[in-house]
Chains A and B, each alone.
Chain A
Amino acid sequence: MEIKVLKNILGVNEQIAKENRGLLDSKGIFALNIMSSPGAGKTSLILETIRKLDSEFKIGVIEGDIASSIDAEKIGAKGIPVIQINTGGACHLDANMVSSALKNLPLDTIKLLFIENVGNLICPGEFELGEHKKVILLSTPEGDDKPYKYPLLFRIADVVVVSKTDLLPYLNFNMDNFVKAVRTINQKAPIIPLSAVKGLGLGDWFSWLKGVLTGGKRNA
């Protein structure tokens, strides 16, 4: 006997993501899911954002890594509430992992939550976590052709950050080509070039963040 099912394979994940979102909303927390390849600069961007904005918006961080707690220690050293999720081999965070992490964060004191996904430009795109916005980072050494190879992530991005712009003089990265590729499939996401380490372009990132924090919750 054949049974028609026609159900999303990740439907359970999406249900848990909705519950996470409900919890975050009830606490007035705005959550960002940060996705990129390994080493693109997710942690550096989060650290710079903490340095600049933590006094204004209390920040919390969920760190997703396959193994180790190096990133969580860097953030914890700044006195920021941080939960490390070690996925034990899985290449992405899922809503259930985030749900457990939320239980261990002081949600009443956090206004802005960074969820740093496992470094990977494919898999995290499939798993909703309950976040309000998706941030995709691409570092300049990765090359301007990446949107063509990983359309899923660039298509769903709410904002695209081009990191390590201080290295542009040494690379063949063509910003116009990159912007054109992203724009072909994603007409809305702002594209913000910056270098967290050298402090270039961070103002645009902070303005985007403040914009979504003050006005974006409703239409997120």
Chain B
Amino acid sequence: MHELSITQSMLELALAEAEKVKAKKVGKISLVIGEMSGVVDEAVKFYFDLLSKDTIARGAELNFTRVPTKARCRNCEHEFILQEFNWVCPRCRLSSLEIIAGSELYLESIEVEQSGNQGS
């Protein structure tokens, strides 16, 4: 359910960035989402269609880059993808880890069309 709030914030952010360059349309929105956030792409798309329909982002393509949950061993500094139920360093077999990726939730870029007849 937090996809609704996340989609709303994402859309507002994308529209604010588009406004800065006086865009007339947002064609594509690229998002980076960590696995730990539990965000479901389909839910974001669903809410996006609903929320964006009266904005210049209507119909924009959503591009998702998923970041796997990655850990670094505090003992031997080995970095590896964290699997559910396998929280052991594959190199030294110790279980003291620091999670270094997987909670990302950011707007990477947008593609916009600008109005052609503006002199500036």
Total A-B pairs, Cβ < 8 A:
108
Interface centre among B87, B96, B110 (most CB of A within 10 A): B87
Residue-by-residue, is B79-120 near A (CB-CB < 8 Å gives 1, otherwise 0)? 000101101000000011111001101111111111000000
Q: Which residues from B are CB-within-8-Å of A7? A: 13, 17, 106-107
Closest to B88 in A: A184
Q: Which residues from B are CB-within-8-Å of A145? A: 85
Given A3-B112, A183-B95, A90-B5 contact (CB < 8 Å)? yes
Contact B85–A1 (Cβ < 8 Å):
no
Residue-by-residue, is B1-36 near A (CB-CB < 8 Å gives 1, otherwise 0)? 110111001101110011001010000000100001
* Interface size range of chain A in the complex: 20 to 34
* Majority secondary structure of chain A interface residues (helix, strand, loop or mixed): mixed
* Majority secondary structure of chain B interface residues (helix, strand, loop or mixed): mixed
The residue that B95 contacts in the complex, of A8, A9, A13, A184, with Cβ under 8 A, is A184
Given A2-B111, A5-B110, A123-B1, A151-B95 contact (CB < 8 Å)? no
Contact B106–A149 (Cβ < 8 Å):
no
Residue-by-residue, is B33-48 near A (CB-CB < 8 Å gives 1, otherwise 0)? 0001110000000000
Closest to A181 in B: B87
- Determine the distance from Cα of A5 to Cα of B102 in the docked complex, in whole angstroms: 19
Q: Which residues from A are CB-within-8-Å of B38? A: 122-123, 152
Contact B108–A5 (Cβ < 8 Å):
yes
Known contacts A3-B109, A127-B2, A184-B95, then 9 further A-B pairs from the complex at CB < 8 Å, ordered by chain A residue: A1-B23, A5-B108, A6-B107, A9-B105, A92-B1, A92-B2, A148-B84, A152-B37, A181-B87
B interface, CB within 8 angstroms of A: 1-2, 4-6, 9-10, 12-14, 17-18, 21, 23, 31, 36-38, 69, 71, 74, 82, 84-85, 87, 95-99, 102-103, 105-114
A interface, CB within 8 angstroms of B: 1-13, 89-92, 94, 122-123, 126-127, 145, 148-149, 151-152, 155, 180-181, 183-185, 187
Cβ contacts A to B, 7 pairs, < 8 Å: A4-B108, A6-B106, A7-B107, A9-B106, A9-B107, A123-B2, A187-B74
